[in-house]
Protein backbone atom coordinates (compact mmCIF):
# COMPACT_ATOMS: atom_id res chain seq x y z
CA UNK A 1 0.00 0.00 0.00
CA UNK A 2 1.40 3.38 -1.01
CA UNK A 3 1.81 6.34 1.28
CA UNK A 4 -1.06 8.84 1.43
CA UNK A 5 -0.39 12.20 -0.20
CA UNK A 6 1.71 14.63 1.79
CA UNK A 7 1.70 18.33 0.96
CA UNK A 8 4.40 20.53 2.39
CA UNK A 9 4.77 24.25 1.90
CA UNK A 10 8.44 25.22 1.77
CA UNK A 11 9.55 28.49 3.37
CA UNK A 12 9.66 31.16 0.63
CA UNK A 13 9.44 28.36 -1.93
CA UNK A 14 7.30 25.76 -3.65
CA UNK A 15 4.65 23.33 -2.47
CA UNK A 16 6.04 19.80 -2.31
CA UNK A 17 3.59 17.00 -3.07
CA UNK A 18 4.54 13.38 -2.46
CA UNK A 19 2.98 10.00 -1.81
CA UNK A 20 -0.14 8.73 -3.55
CA UNK A 21 -1.36 11.77 -5.48
CA UNK A 22 -2.88 12.64 -8.85
CA UNK A 23 -2.14 16.04 -10.40
CA UNK A 24 -5.10 17.41 -12.37
CA UNK A 25 -4.98 20.21 -14.96
CA UNK A 26 -7.37 23.17 -15.11
CA UNK A 27 -9.94 20.96 -16.86
CA UNK A 28 -9.71 18.19 -14.29
CA UNK A 29 -7.67 15.89 -16.51
CA UNK A 30 -4.81 13.89 -15.00
CA UNK A 31 -1.32 15.23 -15.77
CA UNK A 32 1.49 12.78 -16.52
CA UNK A 33 4.16 13.51 -13.90
CA UNK A 34 6.56 11.02 -15.43
CA UNK A 35 6.38 8.56 -12.56
CA UNK A 36 7.75 11.07 -10.07
CA UNK A 37 6.90 10.33 -6.45
CA UNK A 38 7.49 13.94 -5.42
CA UNK A 39 6.77 17.12 -7.34
CA UNK A 40 7.35 20.78 -6.44
CA UNK A 41 4.57 23.15 -7.48
CA UNK A 42 5.41 26.81 -7.98
CA UNK A 43 3.62 29.31 -5.77
CA UNK A 44 5.68 32.42 -6.60
CA UNK A 45 4.37 32.77 -10.17
CA UNK A 46 7.83 33.22 -11.73
CA UNK A 47 8.58 29.69 -12.95
CA UNK A 48 9.17 29.02 -16.62
CA UNK A 49 8.13 25.37 -16.19
CA UNK A 50 4.62 25.86 -14.82
CA UNK A 51 3.14 24.33 -12.79
CA UNK A 52 6.48 23.10 -11.49
CA UNK A 53 9.03 25.07 -9.51
CA UNK A 54 12.23 25.81 -11.42
CA UNK A 55 14.04 27.64 -8.64
CA UNK A 56 13.03 31.12 -9.87
CA UNK A 57 11.60 31.94 -6.42
CA UNK A 58 15.20 32.41 -5.24
CA UNK A 59 16.00 35.02 -7.88
CA UNK A 60 12.75 36.96 -7.41
CA UNK A 61 13.08 37.03 -3.61
CA UNK A 62 9.69 35.41 -3.05
CA UNK A 63 8.42 36.17 0.45
CA UNK A 64 4.73 35.33 0.87
CA UNK A 65 2.56 37.06 3.41
CA UNK A 66 0.69 33.97 4.47
CA UNK A 67 0.66 31.49 7.33
CA UNK A 68 2.98 29.11 5.50
CA UNK A 69 5.92 31.40 4.92
Binding site for ligand FES (CB under 6 A): 13-14, 42-44, 46-47, 53-57
Shortest Å distance, C-beta 50 to ligand FES: 9
Cβ of 60: how many Cβ atoms within 10 Å?
A: 11
Shortest Å distance, C-beta 2 to ligand FES: 26
Q: Among 46, 49, 48, which Cα is nearest to 60's?
A: 46
DSSP H helical segments within the chain, as ranges? 56-60
Shortest Å distance, C-beta 16 to ligand FES: 10
Contact 18, 37 (CB under 8 A): yes
Residue (17 or 43) nearer to ligand FES, CB? 43
Amino acid sequence: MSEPAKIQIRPNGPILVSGNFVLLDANGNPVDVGGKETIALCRCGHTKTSPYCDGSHKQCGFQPNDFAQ
